[in-house]
Amino acid sequence: MQWKRHSRLLFAFVIGVFAGISLNTAIYPAVISSRLGGDSMGVLAYTDPFTPYISIFWGIGAAALGWYGGGKMGMSILGICGFVTGLFLGLAVLHLKPIDTALGTIIATTYGVVGGYILGKIWPANA
């Protein structure tokens, strides 16, 4: 039983790392660049140095989801990860206007909530 718990945590961490990489290198730059006008590679040039930190942050959040399980818990944990990531990228990295920061934060939070719900249904709370 203990092996099942550890493998679940490890798999959740890996999935979270890939989710963080995806958000930081594809989703967020595409949305922000479409709002600001331009290409996503310009936005990616600013957000790319933070990819390892964001991916580890998402990995830890997904591992917490793997530990607790459940759809509501998944939506909460990864939604918070998305909120923090969107806010950080908008304010600290890109220095966006408030409306653009809000858009990026909403997109990142939505990404986290949907992903957290799916993963929470894969890992039920009582397993």
pLDDT 10s digits, 26-73: 999 999 999 988 888 989 999 999 999 999 999 999 999 999 999 999
pLDDT at position 3 is 67
pTM above 0.85, yes or no: yes
Which comes out higher in pLDDT, residue 123 or 118?
A: 118
Question: How many whole angstroms from its chain centre is CA 121?
Answer: 17
pLDDT 10s digits, 62-113: 999 999 999 999 999 999 999 999 999 999 999 999 999 999 999 999 999 9
The yes-or-no verdict on residue 127 having pLDDT over 70 is no
Q: Which residue has the tokens 């989801």?
A: 65
pLDDT at position 126 is 72
